[in-house]
Chains A and B, each alone.
Chain A
Amino acid sequence: MTALQLIEKAGFKVLNFPGENRERNISGVYCCDLLSVVMSKGFEDCVWITIMGNINAVAVAALTEMSVIVLAEGTAIDENMLPKAKAQGITVVQSDKPIYETAVMIYNLLKENA
């Protein structure tokens, strides 16, 4: 499943979605808010669901080469996050659902499209 397919089917609100990321593969889902744990356990091309709407989340996603950051619970982002996401080419979307519901929805979409 590609990032574009996932974002369209899930109906996430797009905050930053660089064109070159549209066909990027989704390798799985990862959920956590503590950045050191995410650095260590997050994986390449994953969708990362978090409530950390800040610039450091972008740095972690870039370093671990994630496909998409999903901000659950409609988390507001801080003013520095989007410029950083644009500069680093990181996809950021918002889900109005809590982390668990968002993760289950993505899991089901990945399964349907496997």
Chain B
Amino acid sequence: MTFKYIVDGEDFTRAGEASSNVKGKLKQMGVSPDVVRKVAIAMYEGEINMVVHAKGGEITVEVTPSEIIMTLKDVGPGIPDVEKAMQAGYSTANENIRSLGFGAGMGLPNMKKYSDELTIDTELGVGTTVVMKVHIN
């Protein structure tokens, strides 16, 4: 089963809607609460990153019997230094974003922590595709 979401890059008031929707669907499907929590946190962080850094993008969530695969694709500026971006506490978010409670430098670290597999494919000026997998068992 596959779900697709368009993330609006200008609208902070809708950030988190895709994650919330996926969470509801997984719960309905009887996926265990631990897995649902991991997917919700990892995807929310990715969704927020898309809004903050990339002016939105597209998220595809594929549910298979053994895993949940989230693919987050944007055409934003790309990540200049992925290793640095993965460090807890490192953030390039501006003051406005920080005043909303984001910019703790925990986005990518949380995505890594709450997914079982994380791959980041990024190119400056072209965009970023993040694939996160959460195993079901």
Contacts and interface: CB of A to CB of B under 8 A. Distances in A.
Contacts of A39: 41, 44-45, 110
A84 interface: yes
A33 B16 contact: no
A34 B97 CA distance: 11
Contacts of A34: 101-102, 104, 106
A108 interface: no
A63 B44 contact: yes
A40 B44 CA distance: 11
Nearest to A51: B101
Contacts of B102: 34-36, 56
A55 interface: yes
B41 A56 contact: no
Contact of A40 (B17, B41, B101): B41
Contacts of A40: 41, 106, 110, 113-114
B133 interface: no
A101 B119 CA distance: 43
Interface in A70-99: 80, 84, 88
B15 interface: yes
B56 interface: no
B66 interface: no
Contact of B101 (A35, A80, A84): A35
A63 B104 contact: no
B87 interface: no
A114 interface: no
Contacts of B45: 36, 39
Nearest to A59: B16
B1 interface: no
8 contacts: A35-B101, A35-B104, A36-B106, A40-B113, A59-B20, A63-B40, A64-B37, A88-B20
8 residue pairs, one from A and one from B, having the closest CB atoms: A59-B16, A36-B106, A34-B104, A35-B101, A52-B101, A63-B40, A36-B104, A80-B13
Given A36-B102, A60-B16, A63-B41, 11 more contacts: A33-B101, A34-B101, A35-B48, A39-B41, A52-B101, A56-B102, A59-B17, A59-B19, A59-B44, A64-B40, A84-B13
